Amino acid sequence: MSLLQLFDRSTHYTVKQLIVLLILLSVHSLQIVSASELVTRAMPSELLGRDFVFSVYLPDAYQQDTARFPVVYLLHGNRGTENSWFRGADLQAKLDTMIAEGKLAPILVVTPADPRYWWADGHEEAVLTSFVSELVPYIDENYRTLGTRAGRAIGGYSAGGFGTVNIVMQHPELFAAAAPLSPAVYSPVPPADSSATSQDTFLDNGQFSAELWERHNWVSFIESYKSSGIIVPFYINTGDHDRFDIAYHAAVFYQALREHQPEFTELRIFDGDHDFDAWGGSIGEALIYMSQFMDGPQ
């Protein structure tokens, strides 16, 4: 017997019982409506000589409609995987709820995996170039995306925030908005306890190289970004107790970008550390910010 049938057959409920039944009916309805799908796939990459693994969130509307949808790419941090966002931030449930409540239009979310973790062309693997020239076109060809700049955004946490910034600085023509969360955009160099100091992409003869770090960091790309004539709105955030002192470094990047595009650069400093309490707690606001610059399903 369904909850609705049970409700219809009784005429002796107290007010308290009616409220409980209405709550149960609401939860039951949400469970029926929410039918998103999360799948993991692999794209053969010629540039990397291996598969580029990714997960993709497909909203309920994707199954029910023939429309094309905007897509958001979310990058993981150091030692993350294609599932880090969904496990650490309970992202599928968050997306389902935001879409059901009308806070967010139905979107696809792609979370690729970088075994080198730092989303840069280094250590004989052109991960950044593969992401831009192979993975993004692959997603557009194999899923019903809008396939346009206005239908595409990118974000990431920690090393994924580093990747987000540097990908957009070099390829602003691809993305309508960006959201680096607790971004590891250290300038001039990372702190000694950052994983970047032992990451092979930034090592020279086994030692951390400030020159290699700068070569892959935003300071090397921001002038060409400015001269591109393309404005990508940025939502930047970080916890005020971030153990890697990212609040300071995020503010340095924010100031450099704000001087160029004051109306399209946001910085949020909140009570938090460098963890999924911070990233999972703020991803909703980041998605809402980016969505205002993106086209909806068509």
pLDDT digit string, tens, across residues 56-90: 999 999 999 899 999 999 999 999 999 999 999 99
| Order of strands, sheet of 50-58, starting from the edge strand that comes earlier in the sequence | 37-45, 50-58, 108-112, 71-75, 152-157, 177-181, 234-239, 265-270
Contact at 8 Å (CB) between 130 and 78?
A: no
Least confident of 21-35, 58-72, 132-146, 238-252: 21-35
Query: Which pTM was predicted?
Result: 0.89
pLDDT band for position 19 (cuts 50, 70, 90): low
SS3 of 103, please?
coil
- CATH topology for 36-291 is Rossmann fold (3.40.50)
Between strands 108-112 and 50-58, the pairing is antiparallel
Cis-peptide, bond into residue 183, ω within 30° of zero? no
| Alpha carbon 26 to chain centroid, angstroms | 30
